[in-house]
Structure 1
Amino acid sequence: MINDYKKYDLFGKTMLQRIVVKSPFRYEFPVNDQACFLYVREGDFQYRSEDVQIDIPTNYSLFLNCIHSGKEIEHSRAEGQCEVVIVTFHADILKKIYDKELPLLLQRSSKVSKQSSGRTNNDFLIQKYIEGLLFYFENPSLVNEDILVLKLKEIILLLSQTQDASTIQIILSQLFSPVTYTFRQVIEANLFTQASVEELAEQTNLSLSSFKREFKKLYNDSPHNYIKTKKLEKAAELLLVSNERITDIAFDCGFNDLANFTKSFSEKYHSTPTHFRLNQNTK
């Protein structure tokens, strides 16, 4: 259960998030083709992907390249809550704010590794940085583009000075390195875009018929139905945890037509988006 959720966008993309969830929980954070830094300020959570499980306790963090790994955290304990602060790194934004040269942490590592996640033990300066972010979450009127750029550069600098800097560099530098994506990675990266099934097939270097067969084999569903379901599930979650306009939520989830979104949402949840938000928030 989500008790509190706040976020700030930089140049139109999510940069900072703060989420408080009550156990037991399973939360999929809304990022696709970025890297992110998840800091546990209270409680703990488990991160799982196909081949790894990592426990993240209080004052530790998880660093992920989300195109190569899962985007879900969970906790099965019956009681307690977890507070997580998330900083998201977008390759295009980093290139924009470092217009001359990327800092060393973002440049390709000399180590050859496919590592896409890692737990870090944060030092005193990182903890103080997180406390500073909480001040801005509590005082949104003070937040502007310049502040967000400054905080993004600050966390890059601090991470480069931690004992886990080499691991973080491997993960972050993948944002700027050519990679070969697996079938699942292509699908996960495009779940909330407006890419057509034909375009997804092209990205996987398969014919449309071969793409549909492979998709059915992996997901036991058709591409159209699976992707639409995931979009609607994300929209339902955003309706509950954010105050964004329904039109913006529809667009963020990959719908380019509000009428089509409303119709699809009503068919799945037997309620319009507006009534769904009102009914859930009054419970």
Structure 2
Amino acid sequence: MIQEQKILKYKNRIVFERIRMSSFKRIPKLYQDKEACFMFINEGEFSIRTQDEFISFDKGKGLLAKCFDYFFETNKKQRDKSDSIEVVGVLLYPIILEELFQFDIMHSSHIVDYNVRQIQVDELLSNFKDSINLLLDNPELADETLIKTKLKEFVLLMSKTVNAPSQLDFLSSMFKKNTSTFKVTILNNLYSNLSIDELAHLCGMSLSTFKRKFRETFMESPKKFIGKMKLEKASKMLVSKEYRISDVAYDCGFETISTFNRSFKSHFGKSPTEYRLMSST
């Protein structure tokens, strides 16, 4: 999937990187050491799925994210526009930040109401990205002093971009995750095509813990409850001729039309087409 990757390290941790990868449907955010991050989107489009949001990002935008579980996703329209995605990333580790700034990043009560935020890349940020690209292409220039300077520069720029009261407040807020309740997370992602394993990951749980919590909350297994809710939504949509059957299938979170047809007929005893015709008489 990764076509090209260039990195710069500080204290044996990747702090700047440029990654080009082929298009994908869905991948989880993977962590090295509980880092927050910022990404410049150089090429391609994708979306971020969190516990309570689904945000799209395209070329030229920036992505600021706390350290938490989420997915990168693309749909067919996004993949058709570009068969690859390239980002330049800045990775922020608490242990490195505290060394650079000589303060405890938890010594601030500042909080923000987002886990992921889309950032408009202005001229200052664009110039910063160009300087990181230069170093990634010429790593022999990037000694430890220069890397420390660029990290400090980024923190200053981003603190001003998000209007944080101070650099300490900005950094502290990036490691205070906003959480949704288990029930809200499930209901927010009910009609996605997330697998049970992926839903568990989004909730930050092991599969066994997730299944136990799900049954306690909804009194049914995840497969049974989610399947039932998708089919009930589909049956309501089929009453209207406004939606094509393929649109109903994808809007309700089915991977393929054949899977939708099979599940629908098993539950209602009629195919989606037959159900629609019966509902219109």
Equivalences for residues 1-283 of structure 1 within 5 A = 1-31=1-31, 33-67=34-68, 69-70=69-70, 72-76=71-75, 77-78=79-80, 80=82, 81-99=84-102, 101=103, 108=108, 110=110, 113-162=112-161, 164-166=162-164, 172-174=171-173, 214-217=209-212
Alpha-carbon contact 2:35-2:93 (below 8 Å) kept: yes
**Structure 1: which 4+ aligned runs deviate by more than 2 Å?**
22-30, 106-110, 112-115, 164-172, 174-183, 211-220
Q: CA deviation at 1:152?
A: 0.4
Aligned to 2:160, the other structure's residue is in SS state coil
Q: How many residues align?
A: 187
2:42 maps to a residue whose letter is: R
Supply the distance in 2 between the matched residues of 1:53 and 1:20 (Cα, whole angstroms): 23
Supply the distance in 1 between the matched residues of 2:176 and 2:67 (Cα, whole angstroms): 14
Q: CA deviation at 1:98?
A: 1.0
Supply the distance in 2 between the matched residues of 1:109 and 1:97 (Cα, whole angstroms): 20
Supply the distance in 2 between the matched residues of 1:136 and 1:122 (Cα, whole angstroms): 19
2:62 maps to a residue whose letter is: S
Q: CA deviation at 1:148?
A: 1.3
CA offsets, 1:243-278, max 9 Å, x none? xxxxxxxxxxxxxxxxxxxxxxxxxxxxxxxxxxxx
Q: CA deviation at 1:102?
A: 7.1
Supply the distance in 2 between the matched residues of 1:169 and 1:74 (Cα, whole angstroms): 32
Q: Which runs of 5+ in 1 are unaligned?
A: 184-203, 205-210, 221-283
Supply the distance in 1 between the matched residues of 2:140 and 2:45 (Cα, whole angstroms): 30
Assess, with a 3 A threshold, how the Cα gap between structure 1 residues 180 and 219 changes in structure 2: closer, same or farther. closer
Aligned to 1:165, the other structure's residue is in SS state coil
Alpha-carbon contact 1:108-1:170 (below 8 Å) kept: yes
Alpha-carbon contact 1:117-1:171 (below 8 Å) kept: no
Alpha-carbon contact 1:65-1:171 (below 8 Å) kept: no
CA offsets, 1:144-193, max 9 Å, x none? 2212111100111111222x33499877323566999999xxxxxxxxxx
Supply the distance in 2 between the matched residues of 1:15 and 1:6 (Cα, whole angstroms): 11
Report the TM-score when normalising by structure 2: 0.56
Assess, with a 3 A threshold, how the Cα gap between structure 1 residues 39 and 170 changes in structure 2: closer, same or farther. farther
Supply the distance in 2 between the matched residues of 1:55 and 1:179 (Cα, whole angstroms): 20
Assess, with a 3 A threshold, how the Cα gap between structure 1 residues 179 and 26 changes in structure 2: closer, same or farther. closer
Report the TM-score when normalising by structure 1: 0.55
Assess, with a 3 A threshold, how the Cα gap between structure 1 residues 213 and 9 changes in structure 2: closer, same or farther. same
Aligned to 2:232: none
